């Protein structure tokens, strides 16, 4: 076989990507990355208005993008999301599990209902959507890429100022879920990897950023900055494309070096 060029290896023309939590923040950034490389995009999140705006933004950039509103913490909604995506888009080549929730409270006072909410979306939702998409689209074709969005919060303990024990626990679970699934589904030629973002200026992170101060938080990173609107694009595309076809069961921090300092 003639070796492909680097442009050919990163080309996603003819591929379809489903991205949960895709209407803003990191999900929308990754949607741009995959769409700019040629993939057709199906966005999902809970709010139709946000999805309409995000889809319009992608389409204005020349990307074939559509949306389905769904709550990935609910079994029936996950099934409906899979049904509509497969019906409207055909087979799913790339699944980005990005929808997530957090909850701030001291561990000793953390509500059990909030613990369950975080776990249902951040872990159970990833498992159920991966399962249904693999069974209905990837396994039979012996082809697929699954990218799970974890966090550097899943690499170590819980800094005292964060008080997000359920979130941190869920992201640690996502990392091992990724490794276990990669080992099991490797024979089906399904690559499963995780990205562990550090602090980006997203809606979820803004409360902590405003509390601690952007400059103070950036000072903890060797690169002295927080993540921006481009910093996940390269890794997401690598893991979604044939350029990363021999990478599976891995997790990589995109955090300006924070985890190198903290030992995560």
Per the CB < 8 A criterion, the answer to whether 35 and 64 are in contact is: yes
SS3 category, 129: helix
Beta bridge partners of 19: 43, 96
Residue 108, classified by CB atoms within 10 Å of its CB into exposed (0-12), middle (13-18) or buried (19+), is: exposed
CA 80 from centre of chain: 20
Question: Edge-to-edge strand order for the sheet containing 190-197?
Answer: 65-69, 40-45, 16-20, 94-97, 144-149, 190-197, 251-254
Structure tokens at 129: 């959507």
Q: Quick one: which of 252, 251, 137, 121 has its CA closest to 190?
A: 137
Beta strands in 184-259, from DSSP E residues, in sequence order: 190-197, 251-254
Provide the CB-side half-sphere exposure for 18 (13 A, CA).
33
Which amino acids are annotated catalytic? Answer: 167
Which residues, including other chains, have CB under 8 Å from residue 116's CB and lie 6 or more apart? Answer: none
């Amino acid at each position: 076989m003639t070796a492909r060029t680097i442009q050919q290896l990163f080309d996603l023309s003819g591929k379809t990507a489903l991205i949960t939590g895709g209407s803003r923040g990191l999900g929308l950034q990754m949607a741009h990355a995959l769409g700019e490389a040629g993939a057709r995009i199906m966005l999902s999140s809970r709010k139709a208005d946000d999805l309409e705006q995000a889809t319009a933004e992608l389409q204005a950039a020349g990307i074939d993008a559509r949306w389905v509103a769904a709550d990935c913490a609910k079994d029936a909604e996950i099934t409906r999301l899979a049904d509509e995506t497969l019906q409207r888009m055909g087979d799913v080549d790339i699944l980005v599990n990005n929808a997530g929730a957090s909850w701030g409270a001291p561990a000793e006072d953390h509500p059990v209902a909030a613990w369950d909410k975080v776990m249902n979306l951040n872990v159970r939702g990833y498992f159920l959507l991966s399962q249904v998409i693999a069974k209905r689209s990837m396994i039979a074709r012996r082809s697929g890429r699954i990218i799970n969005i974890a966090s550097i919060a899943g690499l170590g303990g819980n800094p005292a100022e964060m008080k997000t024990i359920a979130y941190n626990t869920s992201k640690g679970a996502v990392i091992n879920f990724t490794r276990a699934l990669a080992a099991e589904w490797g024979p089906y030629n399904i690559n499963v990897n995780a990205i562990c973002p550090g602090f980006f200026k997203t809606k979820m992170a803004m409360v902590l950023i405003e509390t601690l101060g952007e400059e103070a938080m950036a000072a903890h990173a060797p690169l002295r900055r927080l993540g921006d609107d481009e910093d996940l694009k390269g890794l997401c595309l690598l893991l979604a494309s044939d350029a990363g076809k021999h990478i599976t069961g891995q997790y990589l921090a995109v955090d300006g070096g924070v985890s190198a300092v903290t030992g995560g």
